[in-house]
Amino acid sequence: MQFTGSADELLMLKEITPSNCYLLKETSQSTLSIVWSQEDGTHLIIDNVDYHLKKNQIVFLTEFHSVQNKKVGKLRLVRFNRPFYCIIDHDSEVGCRGILFFGAAGVPMINIPEDEIEKFETLWRMFELEMQSHDRLQIEMLQMMLKRFVILCTRIHKEQNDPQIDTETHDLVREFNFLVEGHFKEKHSVSEYADMMHKSPKTLSNFFAKHHQKSPLQTIQERILLEARRLLTYTDMGVSEIAYEIGFDSVQTFSRLFKKKEGVSPVEYRRSAA
């Protein structure tokens, strides 16, 4: 099922099976995807990392994630683009920026609790029914249901990952993650992000340490290295090109950081990923 609006709005709802799993790999500019596993056993490689999905796990992907299908069972796919619903512009409504989407590193994932499954099933059925409507209120109804879906996921993510963190702390972490996602290629130091957030680097580092988060520098470096791994795996760019692409003045500095964190040189990593 797919909704397409007059201003290029896109919302797709699909039941994914091995016969149409190629849809997981397809993407277009400004699209976000929510992948809901319906059974155990799906094996995806996302950005060269293996993910074995269990029933009622959900992963959240942007257009920048590279997906390979190793084994696909039954999945549900929700895909939408920015013209349909922009989570950045509407972050005050759904609170998922920097958490479910546009975080600093990795692939966000939640497990739907047993007592929440019926809510998700009901919402999916409502989605399907509304997809068959064709009146002038359809897009508003679909946006409302997407918003509800994302809010449910955001709540579960917070409960499963940051249950002890208050709202103010949670929002600061989200904002930092979002800024890193947007600027990691040109800003590599904690002080640059601290300035953007109107805080001192020491205050920011102490804040993360107090609340048992990974350090700001670790988050920045993990995002840089994630991009480096993507480029080494999925492009033919040379190591020096990759270094400059992600903001290093010299290939030696990049290679030292990569080997320190990954345990192998960029060239060795590319060879093993081939």
Region at 75 (left for phi over 0; alpha for psi -120 to 50; beta for the rest)? beta
**CATH architecture of the domain with residue range 167-273:** Orthogonal Bundle (1.10)
Contacts of 68 (CB under 8 A, 6+ apart): 25, 44, 45, 46
CB 58 within 8 A of CB 109: yes
Mean pLDDT per 10-residue section of the chain, whose length is 274 residues: 86 93 84 95 90 95 88 94 88 82 81 95 93 86 93 90 67 85 91 91 82 81 90 91 93 94 92 78
* DSSP conformation letters of 58-72: EEEEETT--EEEEE-
pLDDT for the residue numbered 166? 64
Give CA angle at 153 (149, 156), nearest 5°. 145
Distance CA 98, CA 81 (A): 17
Contact (CB, 8 A) for 224 and 262? no
pLDDT of residue 26: 81
Sign of CA dihedral 240, 245, 246, 247: positive
What pLDDT was estimated at residue 164? Answer: 62
Q: Map out the domains of the chain as residue ranges.
A: 2-161, 167-273
Positive or negative: CA dihedral 186, 189, 195, 196: positive
Can 2-161 and 167-273 be said to share one CATH topology? Answer: no
Q: Retrieve residue 268's tokens.
A: 């060795």
Q: Could you give the CA distance from residue 254 to residue 247 in angstroms, rounded to a whole number?
A: 9
For 2-161, the fitting CATH number among 2.60.120.280, 1.20.1250.20, 3.40.640.10, 2.40.37.20 is: 2.60.120.280
Q: Give the model's pLDDT for residue 94.
A: 82
Closest CA to 153 of 111, 207, 197: 111
Burial class from Cβ neighbours inside 10 Å (0-12, 13-18, 19+) for residue 252 reads: exposed
Name the residue among 222, 243, 232, 237 with its Cα closest to residue 269.
232
Q: Cα 39 vs. chain centroid, distance in angstroms?
A: 22
